[in-house]
Amino acid sequence: MSGAVLVIGAQSEIGQALIGRVLAEEPESQVIAVSRSSCPDVLSSHVSDERARLVWLRCDYSDKQMGEVVKDCADLLAEKQRTLSRLVICNGRLHDATISPEKRIEEIDREALHAVFESNAVIPALWLKHLKVLLKTHLKGKIPAVIAVLSARIGSIEDNGKGGWYAYRASKAALNMLLKTSAIEYQRTLPELRFIAFHPGTTDTPLSKPFQRSVPEGKLFTPDFVAASLLARLSEALAPVEEEAGDNRKRPPARFVAWDGSEIPW
């Protein structure tokens, strides 16, 4: 597949693996990466090579800079004559020096709750807003494209049997609702745009590091394995719906899917 892929929150280990795979497997594809940080060494040769198959844009996720990034993307796609068909938003925060997932309701903290919602739900929602201008002018409602956000099974309200991890769980549920709501709105003007909330499974990245001891054997995935799964889900989303005789199936506005393609209840 050729065209362009936009990866937001590209410093994410899953995002980096995704970029690496696209560059390795799709010689004609262009990647645009957006991150607070500069390009990691492992990918920098692709930025400096003469075809510049990877363009790395810095962004502090303020509205101002998000708008500027969207404009830069539009200019780049026009200059390189590429069609943007896959967009992946990787941003997510579970813990850091001051935040850790709550085991009990007494541990809920106002600032931590706001911070986790900001990274997991607010920033992706703002991207869904800012990207509308680009998608409307670029896709013109005709070209199939897919937007995936990196969600987590823990954000499924129906699947919540264990409790705990209030901020992360609730912010991913909020992300899912924001995605599905925007998918319904986008469907009116860009019916060929598809939406996925993607659960990668527990993946060996800094985000899951402190919690890997309880992961059953064989269930801790490498970022590269997850990147391959995500690319497969994106391809499925872009494939035409199979028409079956007498079947009036309609594509749902958004799907919540796991790495293996299985459906997760919202």
Ligand X SMILES: NC(=O)c1ccc[n+]([C@@H]2O[C@H](COP(=O)([O-])OP(=O)(O)OC[C@H]3O[C@@H](n4cnc5c(N)ncnc54)[C@H](OP(=O)(O)O)[C@@H]3O)[C@@H](O)[C@H]2O)c1
Distance CA 166, CA 223 (A): 25
For ligand X, the binding residues in 227-246 under the rule CB under 6 A are: none
Q: How far is the CB of 137 from ligand X (least distance, A)?
A: 25
Stretches 24-32, 87-95, 128-136, 138-146: which one binds ligand X (CB under 6 A)?
A: 87-95
Position 202 contacts ligand X (CB under 6 A): yes
DSSP codes joined into one string, 19-75: HHHHHHH-TTEEEEEEESSPPPHHHHHHHHSTT--EEEEE----HHHHHHHHHHHHH
What string marks each residue from 14 to 53 as x (binds ligand X by CB under 6 A) or -? xx-------------------xxx----------------
Q: How far is the CB of 59 from ligand X (least distance, A)?
A: 7
Distance CA 101, CA 172 (A): 13
Q: How far is the CB of 240 from ligand X (least distance, A)?
A: 28
For ligand X, the binding residues in 54-83 under the rule CB under 6 A are: 61
Stretches 20-28, 84-92, 229-237, 238-246: which one binds ligand X (CB under 6 A)?
A: 84-92
Q: Which two tokens stand for residue 247?
A: 């079947």
Q: Which is nearest to 92 in space by CA: 175, 204, 181?
A: 175
Binding residues with ligand X: total (CB under 6 A): 26
Choosing from 90, 121, 134, 227, the residue that interacts with ligand X (CB under 6 A) is 90
**Rounded to the nearest 10 degrees, what angle do helices 166-189 and 110-117 cross at?**
30
Strand partners, 32: 6, 55
The Cβ of residue 157 has, within 10 Å, a number of other Cβ atoms equal to: 12
The Cα-based distances of 69 to 44, 66, 100, 109, 148 in angstroms read 19, 5, 31, 33, 18
Choosing from 205, 229, 233, 257, the residue that interacts with ligand X (CB under 6 A) is 205
Whose CB is nearest to ligand X? 92
Interface contacts to ligand X, rule CB under 6 A: 9-15, 35-37, 61, 90-93, 119, 123, 150, 152, 200, 202-203, 205-208
